[in-house]
Structure 1
C-alpha cells in the first residue's frame, strides 16, 4: 500500500517506521524539507521525503499526524489532493488541565472531514503514546493491543484496519465517524488518569463477561 504522511513529528515517526518495515511504501511530507528528509532517512525501507502536497497525492492512504487545529488547516489547503483518499486522523484535542478542546462542537476528525469533504476520514491510533507504536508488536498480558477506529466509508475502514494489522494489533471498528468524539474523550480521560493521577486506565473496565451485569 502507498501511504502519505503529513507531518514529521513523533507519531509520524513511530507509525511510518512500522508501516515501512511491514512493506508499505511511505512518502513523508512536511513544510520543512530538512525535517522531512531526516525523518525519511530514519524510517528507511525506501521512504522518501516530499512536501505536504506531494505526500498527500502519493498515498492511497494519508496519515494526518499533525497537532489539533493544524490538521484541519492543512486538509483545507490540500482538499483537492485529498479527494477520494483515505485520510487517517490520530490527533487528540486535549489542552491544559487535560481539557477536551472541542467542547460540545465537532470532533477533531469531523473538523478534518469538513476541511476536506471529499476525503474518506477515519479516526484511529489516538489512544496510545507514540512509544507504544514502536513496540514490535504491542502485546500486553499476552493480548495484542486492540485499536478502535471509526469512519463512514467501509473501504476506508478496511484499509485502515490493514495498517492496524501491520503493527501487530487488532482492529476494532467502532462505528461511523460521528463516534470519533467518543475516542477523543476517552483519550482525554486516559491521559488524565495516566499523567495526573498515575492510575492504570485498564483497571476501570470490567472484563467482557461482566460488562452487562
Structure 2
C-alpha cells in the first residue's frame, strides 16, 4: 500500500516505521520540512514533503498530530482527502485534578469531528490504544497471541483496507462497528492510560469469561 503521513512526532515515526517494515510505501508530510526529512530517513520512507504532499499520497493517510489540531488539518486538506481512507490515531486527553479526561466530553470523538470537517474522506479510528513503543516491535505478540487492533468506521472499503494493513503488521484486526463508536475507543484509551500511569495493568481488569469455571 501507499501511505501518506501528516505529522512527524512519535506516533508518525513508530507507525510509519512499522508500515515500512511490513512492506508498504510511506511518505512523511510535515510543516517543518527538516523534521519531515529526518523522520522519513529514520523509518526508511520513500520520501517526504509538506502536509499537502502527505495528504495526496497513496491509498491511506494517517493524521498523527495533537488531537485538537486534527480536525482543522482534515478541513484544510479536505478536498485532497476526499475519497481516501484517513486514519485517526489521536487521543483527546487532558490531565485534571480527577485524573485524565476527554477534551471532547465523551459526547463526540475527534474522528467524528474529522469526518465532519472533511465530509468526502473516509475516516477510520485506529491505532489509538497502544503506546507508541508497541509499534516498534517487529511482530507484536502478547501471551502467545498477536496484538489485536480495534478500529471503527463507516465505509466498508476503508475498513477492508485497514484490516489488510493491520494483518500485514502481524496483528489481528478487531472491527468495532461504525464511526459512532470512536468515542468509546477514545474513552477506553483515557481509561487505559490512567491505569498504566498508576502502575497497574488494564488486562487484569478484563479476564475472558472462558477462563471462569462453568457452573455445574
TM-score, normalization by structure 1: 0.95
Return the match for 2:189 from 182, 187, 190: 187
TM-fit CA distance, 1:100: 1.1
The match for 2:204 is: 203
- How well do the aligned residues superpose, as a CA RMSD in angstroms? 1.3
Residue 79 of structure 1 is matched in structure 2 by 78
**What residue number does 1:110 align with?**
112
C-alpha separation in 1, matches of 2:54 and 2:138: 26
What SS does structure 2 have at the residue aligned with 1:98? strand
Which digits, 9 at most, give the CA deviation of each residue in 1:143-201, with x for residues without a partner? Answer: 11111000001110111111111221101000000000000000000011110x21110
* Counterpart position of 1:70: 69
Aligned partners of 1:35, 1:177: CA distance in 2, in Å? 32
| Contact map agreement 2:81 2:120 (CA 8 A) in 1 | yes
Give the aligned partner of residue 160 of structure 1.
Answer: 162
What aligned pairs does 1:38-187 form with structure 2 within 5 A after superposition?
A: 38-44=38-44, 46-96=45-95, 97-187=99-189
The answer (yes or no) to whether the contact 1:123–1:180 under 8 Å persists in 2 is: yes
Preserved contact between residue 109 and residue 180 of structure 1 (Cα < 8 Å): yes
TM-score (norm 2): 0.94
Q: Deviations over 1:33-77 (max 9, x none)?
A: 000000111111x52011001111112100011111111111110
Are 2:8 and 1:5 equivalent residues in the alignment? no
List, as ranges, runs of 4+ consecutive aligned residues in structure 1 with deviation greater than 6 Å.
Answer: none
Separation in structure 1 between the aligned mates of residue 60 and residue 200 of structure 2, nearest angstrom: 35
Aligned residue pairs, count: 210
Distance in 2 between residues matched to 1:138 and 1:92, nearest whole Å: 21
Equivalent pair of 2:31/2:51 in contact (CA under 8 Å) = yes
Alpha-carbon distance in 1 for matches of 2:108, 2:116: 10
User: Shift of residue 22 of structure 1?
Assistant: 1.6
SS of aligned partner of 1:58: coil
In 1, Cα distance between the equivalents of 2:138 and 2:8?
Answer: 21
Residues 107, 183 of structure 2: 8 Å contact kept: no
What residue ranges of structure 2 are gaps of 5+ in the alignment? none
On the 8 A contact 1:18/1:166 being kept in 2, the answer is no
